Structure formats: C-alpha cells, structure tokens
C-alpha cells in the first residue's frame, strides 16, 4: 500500500501534489462536518418544547428541524449548528470533487 502511494506521488508534479493534499484536507473537513451533522441531528429531538412531537412527527422526530416554534432556545441553536454543518459538508464535498478532478488532470 505504501509503495503504491509513493508511486502515485512520484508521478505527480508539485501542483498535482498540492491539489491532492487539498483533496485530502477537504475529505477530513467533510468527515468532521458529517460527524457534527449526526451529533446535532441526534440531539435535536431532545430539545423540543414539551409535547411538541405528536402525530406524524413521531414517525421521524428529526422533522422538527423545519418547525422552529417546536424548539427550545437550545434546540434553535442546535438547528443553526446543524444547518451550518450541512453546508460545510456539501461545500467540502464539492471542493474535494473539484480538487480531485483537477489533480487527475494536472
């Protein structure tokens, strides 16, 4: 495995190595953003006003994301963190795809 990686890195020029490094960094950022999404999405249903999750909301308690009036102030803060983490995740995904494609053509 290490020999294969050194063979790949030796074939790339400096620009390709920089692009590949950026791709790997965006993968790490995407991983941590995904972890933040999962953590906040798990905590969000536990920060609703009492009796907020009734009826069809019981089928998927994460639907309270779209109803701010059902959330406590801490729930609203968690929702902001969740939406930011989702944007960061998709941004890292797009950046990683662009850098990976550019590294392949460098």
Q: Which residues lie below 8 Å from residue 103, measured CB to CB, with a gap of 6+?
A: 12, 16, 19, 20, 23
pLDDT > 90? residue 92: yes
pLDDT category at 59 given cuts 50, 70, 90 is low
pLDDT higher at 96 or 53: 96
pLDDT > 90? residue 88: yes
What is the C-alpha separation between 100 and 106, in angstroms, rounded?
10
For residue 22, the Cα-to-chain-centroid distance in whole angstroms is 16
Output the pLDDT for position 52.
Answer: 79
pLDDT category at 85 given cuts 50, 70, 90 is very high
Q: Give the start-to-end residue ranges of the domains of the chain.
A: 12-105
Task: Give 18-56 pLDDT, tens digit per residue.
Answer: 888 888 899 999 999 999 999 999 898 888 888 877 777
């Amino acid at each position: 495995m290490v020999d294969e990686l050194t063979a790949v890195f030796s074939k790339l020029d400096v620009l390709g190595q920089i692009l590949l490094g950026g791709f790997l960094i965006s993968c790490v950022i995407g991983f941590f953003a995904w972890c933040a999404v999962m953590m906040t999405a798990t905590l969000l249903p536990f920060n609703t006003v009492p009796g907020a999750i009734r009826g069809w909301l019981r089928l998927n308690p994460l639907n309270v994301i779209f109803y701010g009036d059902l959330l406590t102030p801490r729930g609203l803060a968690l929702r902001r963190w969740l939406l930011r983490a989702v944007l960061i995740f998709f941004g890292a995904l797009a950046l990683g795809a662009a850098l990976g494609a550019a590294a392949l053509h460098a």
